Amino acid sequence: MKKLVVGLGNPGPEYEWTPHNIGFHVVEHLATREKSIFQSAAKLPGHEGSANFLWAESPADKIGGGDALLVKPATFMNLSGKAVAPLVRRFGVPIENVFVVYDELDLPLGTLRIRPHGGTAGHKGMESIVMELGSDRFPRLRVGIGRPRTDAARHVLTKFTKDALVEAEIAAANAADALLDWLVQGDLASTMTRFHSRWNQGSEAP
């Protein structure tokens, strides 16, 4: 295993298309492009251990991008690292090749930003992954969900409105484009340059 793309979210149909699950929808979009299907951990060749994640073949494998997996933790968000870290260690994936996709309150809805490493800004799923891996030196793609005027915890677990859902779906498709570029090309800096320019006319945000 050379690369993992991990989308964060909460398992269960009641959480589909809630802001906290946008990471799931990005990797699902990526898998759907090449008709890959998410399967249980027990069906992953070479894997022994916990079955707390779902995986799909990366579309990059089919177009010459190398050995990679798309992963959705089957834990709840604040335990995401319990699913990711054993998988990283079992297959010896370099830390810089673990690309995590998740929701970001501090970016407007639909805004996308890639960073090569950094803090968690209080995101519980990211905190869990950093703790379990013992490092924050892995790339991440943040998908903006906007900060509400009221309760943030309620906001991230409430389904998108009709209009917001359109923005979220567009963002998921655009994020999937960037991830596929990284999977195939393997050059994070080039992916950042190309897609930040496309998304934001080269502007940088926090």
Q: Which residues are catalytic?
A: 20
Q: Residue length, the chain?
A: 206
Residues 6+ apart with CB under 8 A from 161: none
Determine how β-strand 68-73 pairs with β-strand 53-57: antiparallel
Determine how β-strand 53-57 pairs with β-strand 39-40: antiparallel
The pair of three-digit structure tokens given for residue 157, joined into one six-digit string: 């677990």
Burial status of residue 146 (CB atoms within 10 A of its CB: 0-12, 13-18, 19 or more)? middle
